Amino acid sequence: MPQKSLVLRNCGLIDPQDVDSYLARGGFEAMRRVQSGMTPAQVIEEVKRSGLRGRGGGGFPTGLKWEQTAQSPNERKYIICNASEGEVGAFKDRYILERDPFALIEGIAIAAYAVGAREAYIYLRSEYSHLAGLMANAIAQVKLKGLLDGGGQPLEIELRLGSGGYVCGEETAMMESLEGRRGEPRARPPFPPSQGLLGFPTAINNIETLMNIPWIIAKEADRFCEMGTPQSKGTKVFSVSGDVERPGVYELEMGSSLHELVHELALAGDVKMVQVGGASGRIVPADRMEVPLSYETVLGAGPVIVFDRGRDVVDIMYRTMQFFAEESCGKCAPCREGTQAMTETLARIADGRGVRNDLKALEQLSSAMMLMSSCGLGQAAPVPIMDSLQYFREEYDAHIRQ
Amino acid sequence: MTSGTSDARMEKNLLVLLERTRDVYGYIPDHAVIGLADQLGVPVVDVYAAATFYRALPLKPMGKHIIKVCKSVPCYLKHNQPVIDAVERGLGIAPGQTSHDGLFSLELVNCIGACDKAPAMMIDDDVFGDLTPDKVTEILAGYR
C-alpha cells in the first residue's frame, strides 16, 4: 500500500507562521461546512461513520468519545489536546506541530463544537517548549481572523506547557497536572467524558486524531472509510528511528506492512527486531516483518525503533525498563516496585550475573504489573520484556550461562 | 506558562504559581514553598509534593543554561555515550551538577522527541541534533 498524505497534507506546503497560507490550501473549509448547517450530533455522526479511532495508542473510537462527552449532562465541557508526546522514539507530533499548527486548531474547534465545549487546552510537553511560540502565534492568528467565534459559541484555546514527566501523557494524569497537582493518574471510572477536567465532561484527544477531523468533515467520512482495514480506517503517522538510513516521519495507509515502512521507506539493513509503539511497544522479530500495521495487529502511538543484528536484546530491554522505573509516578506499588525490580534483574542478567530463576522472576513480575498497575504505564511496561523473552530467549540464556 | 486568555482560576492553580516562581528565581526556594502554601491555604507538604513531582521545577539553584542530553534508546543506538562524555568534559561536571561559574547545569534525560537527529540534546529551549564530540565542543563554546 502506498504512502498517503492525509494528516501530513499541508506539511511543507504551508507557512506555519501564517494562517493565510493555511486558508489558501482549503483551511477552515471543514469548519465552514460545520457552521453552515451541521448540528453537533451530525458532526459526531460523521466522525463515528468514519471509523476514526484514537491515534495516541489507545484506539478508542473518537466519535463515541465525543458522543459520551456531548451527552453528559453538564453545561460546562472541555476539550483537551494531548500534545505531551513522551513515548520513547516518538516525534511525529512534534513534526506535525512544526509544520501545520492550523489544522490542529481547526480540529480542536470542530471537536469543541461537537461536544459543546467553550474552552480547550493544549497540553504541550516541556521538551517541546521550542514550539510554544509557534503554537501561541497560530492560536492568536486564528482567533484574530474570527475563526473561533463560530455560531455565538466562541472558543477559548489555552496553551499549557507541561513541567516534565512521561506519565503526564496519561489522560487523567494530564488533568491532574492541568489542575495544578502532581501528575498522578486517577482511578477510573469515572472516565473523562463523564467527569474529566475539574470534574466536568472532557474529551481528550491526541494531536494526530484531531488532525484527521478537518479532512473527514471536509471530504466526508465515506472517503476516509475507503482507506485501511476493517477495524483501522484512514492512515497512520509513524516516526522511525534507530538502525535505519532514513530516520523520519512517514504516513501510511492503515494495514501497510512493517516491512514497507522500515525497509522500503526508512531503508533499514540487517534487522534483528523492531519495536512498534515506543518503550512499551510490541517487539516484532525480523521474520515477521510482513505484519500489517493496524489496531488488529500491532500499532501503538507511532514510534518505530529498528534494531540491527548486532544489538544485544538484554541490554536494550534493561535500558527500556530503566526508563519506566524513572518515569513511574510512584503512586501504585506494582508499577513503582515492579519497574525497579525488573530493572535490577535485567541489569544483573545483562552483566552476566543472572541466575536461571531471574527469567521466572521477570515473568511473575510482568503478570503482577499487567494485572495490578493502576494505569497504562505499569500495565504496558512489561510488554517488550515478555515479547523479547518469547522471541529471543536464547539470548537471555546465553547471558545467564556466561 | 500560559498564553491566550488567562483564566482567573489559574491564580489559584498551584502548578502555574510554582512555574511563575521558577521563572522569577530560576528555581523554587524554600521561602516560596512556604509562601505559596500560605497564599493558597494548603499544607506546605502539598506544595512540596507538587514541586518535587516535576522535573522542570528544581528546588535548588540551577545554572544559567540547562543542558539536557538524551539518554533514551534511539539516542543510545546512535552512540550517545561519546557525546555525553564530551559534554561532561567540556563543562567539567557530572550529570545532576552545576558548573562552578553558575553557567551550566547538566542533566541526562529521557526521550526529547528528536530521535530523527539522534544523538540529541537541548540547551534551554533549543534542540541540537546529529551530535558528535567535536560538534558539542563547538556548541558549548557558543554559550560561553
pLDDT, one tens digit per residue, over B7-66 is: 546 668 999 999 999 999 999 999 999 999 999 999 999 999 999 999 899 999 999 999
What's the whole-model pTM score?
Answer: 0.95
Taking any CB pair shorter than 8 Å as contact, residues of chain B touching chain A are 1-7, 12-19, 49-50, 53-57, 68, 72-74, 76-77, 109-118, 122, 125-127
In this prediction, residue B1 carries a pLDDT of 40
Q: Which residues of A touch B73 (CB under 8 A)?
A: 88-89, 242, 279, 305, 316, 319-320, 323
Indicate whether A2 pLDDT > 80.
Answer: no
Put simply, whether A181 touches B (Cβ < 8 Å) is: yes
Q: How many CB atoms lie within 10 A of CB A318?
A: 21
Search chain B and give the residue with CA nearest A245. B116
Indicate whether A402 pLDDT > 70.
Answer: no
Cβ–Cβ gap B3/A158 under 8 Å: yes
Q: Which of A16, A218, A223 is nearest to A137 (CA)?
A: A16
Search chain B and give the residue with CA nearest A124. B1
Residues 6+ apart with CB under 8 A from B12: A180, B40
Q: By the 8 A CB rule, do A284 and A258 touch?
A: yes
In this prediction, residue A401 carries a pLDDT of 77
What average pLDDT score do residues A10-38 get?
96
Q: Which residues of A touch B41 (CB under 8 A)?
A: none
Cβ–Cβ gap B50/A87 under 8 Å: no
Cβ–Cβ gap B73/A327 under 8 Å: no
In this prediction, residue B7 carries a pLDDT of 53
ipTM of the complex: 0.94
| Per-residue model confidence as pLDDT tens digits over A58-110 | 899 999 999 999 999 999 999 999 999 999 999 999 999 999 999 999 999 99
Q: Distance between terminal CA atoms of chain B?
A: 27
What average pLDDT score do residues A244-266 get?
98
Strand order in the sheet with A119-124: A156-161, A119-124, A78-83, A202-206
In this prediction, residue A1 carries a pLDDT of 58
In this prediction, residue A83 carries a pLDDT of 97
CA distance A251 to A264: 13
In this prediction, residue B9 carries a pLDDT of 61
pLDDT band at A224 (very low <50, low <70, confident <90, very high): very high
Q: For chain B, what percentages of helix, strand and coil (3-state, to nearest 5) are there? A: 45, 15, 40
What average pLDDT score do residues A143-156 get?
87
Q: By the 8 A CB rule, do A273 and A307 touch?
A: yes
| The three three-digit cell numbers of residue B78, written as one number | 546512535
Put simply, whether A319 touches B (Cβ < 8 Å) is: yes
Residues 6+ apart with CB under 8 A from A268: A243, A244, A245, A262, A306, A308
CA distance A206 to A97: 12
Indicate whether A244 pLDDT > 60.
Answer: yes
Indicate whether A295 pLDDT > 60.
Answer: yes
In this prediction, residue B2 carries a pLDDT of 42
pLDDT band at A3 (very low <50, low <70, confident <90, very high): confident
What average pLDDT score do residues A343-362 get?
96
Indicate whether B6 pLDDT > 70.
Answer: no
When scoring B77, B84, B108, B125 by the number of chain A Cβ atoms within 10 A, the one with the most, hence best to mutate, is B77
pLDDT band at A152 (very low <50, low <70, confident <90, very high): low
In this prediction, residue A153 carries a pLDDT of 74
Q: By the 8 A CB rule, do B62 and B27 touch?
A: yes
In degrees, to the nearest 5, what angle opens at C-alpha A34 toward C-alphas A33 and A35?
Answer: 95
In this prediction, residue A46 carries a pLDDT of 97
pLDDT band at A165 (very low <50, low <70, confident <90, very high): confident
For residue A57, what are the CA distances in angstroms to A145, A173, A366?
34, 16, 20
In this prediction, residue A164 carries a pLDDT of 78
Q: How many CB atoms lie within 10 A of CB A137?
A: 16
Q: Which of A33, A57, A29, A56 is nearest to A46 (CA)?
A: A33
Search chain B and give the residue with CA nearest A134. B3
Nearest-CA distance A319 → chain B (Å): 7
Cβ–Cβ gap A130/B53 under 8 Å: no
* Three-state DSSP class for residue A305: strand
CA distance A58 to A55: 7
Burial call B14-24: b when 16+ CB within 10 Å, e when fewer: bbbbbbebbee
Put simply, whether A277 touches B (Cβ < 8 Å) is: no
For the CA atoms of chain B, what is the radius of gyration? 17
| Per-residue model confidence as pLDDT tens digits over B100-135 | 999 999 999 999 999 999 999 999 999 999 999 999
User: For A188-233, where are the E strands, in sequence order?
Assistant: 202-206
CA distance A119 to A108: 10
CA quadruple A237, A242, A243, A247: dihedral positive or negative? positive
Q: Which residues pair with A285 in a beta bridge?
A: A273
In this prediction, residue A61 carries a pLDDT of 98
Cβ–Cβ gap A239/B13 under 8 Å: no
Q: What DSSP state is assigned to residue A187?
A: P
